[in-house]
Amino acid sequence: MAEYGEICYKSPNKLMRAIPSILEHPDNELTSITRAFISRLYEHITHLNQQIDEVDIQLNALVSTKADYKRLISIPGIGPIIAATVLASEPDIHSFKNAANLLHG
C-alpha cells in the first residue's frame, strides 16, 4: 500500500487493526478497485481468524475433558493440536513406551 501513500505495519495484527481506518480515510490515494480488493481480503482473513478461534475453543474443550489429552499436553512441546493429531492417528497412547517414543516415532 506504500505505492498509494499508506505506510503499513509489518506485524500482521497491527496491519489488520489499521486496515479499517486506511480504507475509510478519504484523502489517501487508494483507488476504488484497490479499496474493494483490500476490503475483500480483510473480510476473508477476519473470517478465517474467527474459524481458527472456534477450532481452538473446540480443541481446548476436548482436551479439558479427556485424560489422554491431558497426559499428552503435559509433555513439553505438545499442545492441543498435536495431542488431537496423535490421538486421531493412535487412539491408544499406552502403545508408546515414553514421551521420546511418542515424539520420535
Report whether pLDDT(1) > 70: no
Question: Rounded CA gap, 99 and 84, in Å?
Answer: 15
Using H for helix, E for strand and C for coil, what is the string for the chain? CHHHCCCCCCCHHHHHHHHHHHHHCCCCCCCHHHHHHHHHHHHHHHHHHHHHHHHHHHHHHHHHHCHHHHHHHCCCCCCHHHHHHHHHHCCCHHHCCCHHHHHHC
pLDDT band at 55; cut points 50, 70, 90: very high
pLDDT tens across 42-53, in order? Answer: 999 999 999 999
| pTM of the full structure | 0.66
Provide the pLDDT for residue 4. 60
The mean pLDDT value of the chain amounts to 82
* Structure-model confidence comparison of residues 99 and 52, the more confident one: 52
Task: For residue 93, give the nearest of 71, 75, 78 by alpha carbon.
Answer: 71
